[in-house]
Amino acid sequence: MRLVLLGPPGAGKGTLANLLKETLGLAHISTGDMLREEIKNNTALGQEAKRFIETGKLVPDELVTRLIRQKISVDPQVKRGYLLDGFPRNKQQAEDLDKILEQIQQPLDYVMYLEATLPVISARLTGRRVCKRCGALFHIKNKPPKKEGVCDRCSGPVYQRPDDKEETIKTRLDVYLKDTAPIIDYYKKQGKLKKLDADQSAEVVQDVLMKILNEEGKHHNS
Ligand code: AMP
């Protein structure tokens, strides 16, 4: 099964993907994580992407689409299906994705639109902390690491992403409204959009999503 998780920053795409990848046995493909990995490894692509990410802007389409094309058409780990988290992020990327998937005859099944309100988004983003080593997600109020600054899973350092600082969050939300929100309609027209109330916890959102898949006759690992 091939799903897109679509929604504003702070809607809980990453947290939900972490739950769903276990439940559904799917690969989790996060362009944000892939780009941060490129930066960590100081690759040419990472160097190019860094200034966009740190200022909350979108990385140029061709760089991100190149990463995605490579991942979904070459990587054997994604054969059984995947959750796309953070891609596509504008109309151009959505169209490019459709073209890539058409070439390999593997269309998307659904686009899960996580709708969340501004106060919830802000609280999630400003409190979010991430493990620098393994990417595990924490929140200073809702899910603090057992030992401050140390990852529960791998003991790596837990930090605040530079783009989760208040001034950059504003830019990211503006970019979302201007560039990303229009693709909600793009997928609605394709009949692939399912809307979920993402103010709720990731566990509740997962339950609702599983119910939708069951109603649609899609079962695990299909
Ligand atoms: P995320 O981890 O999904 O919040 O992404 C963090 C940052 O990575 C974004 O603010 C963008 O700068 C960049 N990024 C991630 N995915 C994309 C994408 N599909 N297109 C362009 N930039 C992206």
Ligand 1, CB within 6 Å, residue ranges: 9, 31-32, 35, 52-53, 56-59, 64, 86-87, 89, 93, 163, 172
H or E stretch covering 27: strand 27-30
Ligand 1 atom nearest the C-alpha of 86 is: 3
Q: Which residues are marked as active site?
A: 13, 89, 128, 161, 172
The predicted-structure confidence for 171-197, as pLDDT tens digits, reads as follows: 999 999 999 999 999 999 999 999 999
What's the pLDDT tens digit per position in 204-220? Answer: 999 999 999 999 987 55
Provide the CA 179 distance to its chain's centre, in angstroms: 15
Residue type, 25: G
Record the tokens describing residue 54, joined without a space: 């740190």
- pLDDT score recorded for residue 220: 52
Reply yes or no: is the peptide bond before residue 119 cis, omega within 30 of 0. no
Give buried/exposed letters for 42-53 (b at 16+ CB in 10 A, else e): eeebbeebbebb
DSSP state at residue 177? I
Say yes or no to pLDDT of 147 above 90.
yes
pLDDT averaged over the chain? 95
**Closest atom, ligand 1, to C-alpha of 68:** 19
